Amino acid sequence: MKEIALHIQDIAENSVRAGAGLLVIEIREETRADLVTVVIEDDGHGMDDDTVRKALNPFFTTKTVRRIGMGLSMFKQAALQADGRFDVDSAPGRGTRVEASFRLTHMDRQPLGNMAATIVALLMSNPDMDILYRHVRDEDVFVFDTRVIRQTLEDVPISEPGVLQFVRELISARQNLDE
Amino acid sequence: MGKMTIEELRKIRAQAKKTINLRDAKGKARITVHMGTCGIASGAREVMDALLKAIEDQGIQDILVTTSGCAGLCSHEPMATVEYQNSPPVKYVDLDAEKIVEVLLKHAVNGEIVKEYALAIGSEKMN
Ligand SMILES: Nc1ncnc2c1ncn2[C@@H]1O[C@H](COP(=O)(O)OP(=O)(O)OP(=O)(O)O)[C@@H](O)[C@H]1O
Ligand SMILES: [Mg+2]
């Protein structure tokens, strides 16, 4: 994976498979602390301690099409190579929280990449899952919440082409949507 | 700012509602993009984004877009499957942003299989 946004999409696919109803994605860029923090949290079926330990092993997967699972270990690798930390916190029935940090100015830190494309692809494939996406850059806070969008859309699905185009533009422009 | 964007979304909603009512619920074709980890790593998201943009920009109706997980052919990702009306599904391999738009316009819209990118069952491409 070449960018953090792609890792986020991939980690979010795990949340989808875990039956998440709400996915929270937070990116925090802190210039003074020289830190980027990414948190991906879901309310899916979660994992017990043993599964969490195994999940960080690149050869563990509960999928049946393939013998290896790469998603979490690749994300962990991306964080560690940029002098960051990686943590998975999960409990059965409660959900899962994945946190990765990176040193902002580290030479090997991957670029954030195209978050608009990531969110649009997630909405396209999982139109019923809610997404709360927060992107904080020092004092500047951007919030995108599908629950607010749905209030206006009423019976029109969020995966309609025109709506996805709107979402893409909103996120690309980092334009907050007020209620 | 906020008020204006909600206003914009309202208009989009009204427009979408009209096209939904006109559209054949079954759709003419379905395109499935494989979005497993290997797919994402090799460019499936760009393929999906190009596909959605082409559908939006050209106002194409009756094409359903879905995603699926890994299909087990990781070395040929990005992949997509096209099901045109009642014809058997065709898998396309090693796609990129341009190829998927060609597949959309030729196969999903007009029903002509794009042989250059299609996976021929039983051929060496399967390995
Ligand atoms: N959010 C989550 N909720 C529940 N289980 C999870 C979650 N994330 C990961 N897991 C478990 O950990 C395993 C490993 O995840 P990982 O993303 O590393 O690989 P994978 O999803 O199995 O395969 P790949 O990501 O390579 O397609 C998963 O198969 C799943 O059992
Ligand atoms: Mg995964």
For every residue of B73-107, which 3-state class applies, written as one string? CHHHCCCEEEEECCCCCEEECCCCHHHHHHHHHHH
- Answer yes or no: is B52 within a domain: yes
| pLDDT band per the 50, 70, 90 thresholds, residue A69 | low
DSSP conformation class of B124: G
Which residue is it, tokens 């969110």?
Answer: A119
Average of per-residue pLDDT across A113-140: 95
- Answer yes or no: is B34 within a domain: yes
On the question of pLDDT at A165 being above 60, the answer is yes
A125:B2 CB<8 A: no
Give residue-wise pLDDT tens across range B8-31.
999 999 999 988 877 766 678 999
Number of domains in chain B: 1
On the question of pLDDT at B1 being above 70, the answer is no
**Among A135-144, B52-61, B104-113, the least confident range:** B52-61
What is the reported pLDDT for A176?
Answer: 78
What is the reported pLDDT for A64?
Answer: 65
Residue B76's domain spans which residues?
Answer: 6-125
Looking only at the bridges linking them, the beta strands covering A22-30 and A35-42 are: antiparallel
Is B78's C-beta closer than 6 angstroms to any atom of ligand 1?
A: no
Average of per-residue pLDDT across B90-115: 96
Q: How large is the ipTM?
A: 0.83
- Answer yes or no: is B110 within a domain: yes
On the question of pLDDT at B55 being above 70, the answer is yes
On the question of pLDDT at B123 being above 60, the answer is no
On the question of pLDDT at A113 being above 60, the answer is yes
**Among A37-51, A144-158, B90-104, B109-123, the least confident range:** B109-123
- Answer yes or no: is B1 within a domain: no
Across chain A, what does the average pLDDT equal?
93
Q: From atom 7 of ligand 1, which residue's Cα is the shortest distance away?
A: A14
Measured between alpha carbons, how far is B62 from A124 in angstroms, rounded to an integer?
A: 16
- Answer yes or no: is B59 within a domain: yes
- Chain A residues lying within 8 Å of B2, measured CB to CB: 176-179
B16, B46, B74: residue with CB nearest A163: B16
List Cβ neighbours of B50 (8 Å cut-off, separation of 6 or more).
B97, B98, B100, B101
Query: Residue B15 maps to which CATH number?
Result: 3.40.30.10
- Answer yes or no: is B102 within a domain: yes
B1, B9, B37: residue with CB nearest A70: B37
- Give which of B78, B31, B74, B36 is closest to B52, Cα–Cα: B31
- Percent of chain B residues past pLDDT 70, beyond the cut: 89
pTM of the model: 0.91
What is the reported pLDDT for A177?
Answer: 75
- Give which of A80, A5, A10 is closest to A38, Cα–Cα: A5
What is the reported pLDDT for B94?
Answer: 96
Which residue is it, tokens 């919030």?
Answer: A143
Give residue-wise pLDDT tens across range A93-105.
999 999 999 999 9
Q: Which residues of B touch A (CB under 8 A)?
A: 1-3, 5-6, 8-10, 12-13, 15-17, 20, 35-38, 40-41, 45-46, 48-49, 52-53, 55-56, 65-67, 69-72, 74
What is the reported pLDDT for B61?
Answer: 84
Is A118's C-beta closer than 6 angstroms to any atom of ligand 1?
A: no
Average of per-residue pLDDT across A120-139: 95
Which range, A42-51, A69-78, B32-41, B74-83, is most confident?
A42-51
φ, ψ for residue B40 (rounded to 5)? -60, -45
On the question of pLDDT at A67 being above 80, the answer is no
On the question of pLDDT at B65 being above 80, the answer is yes
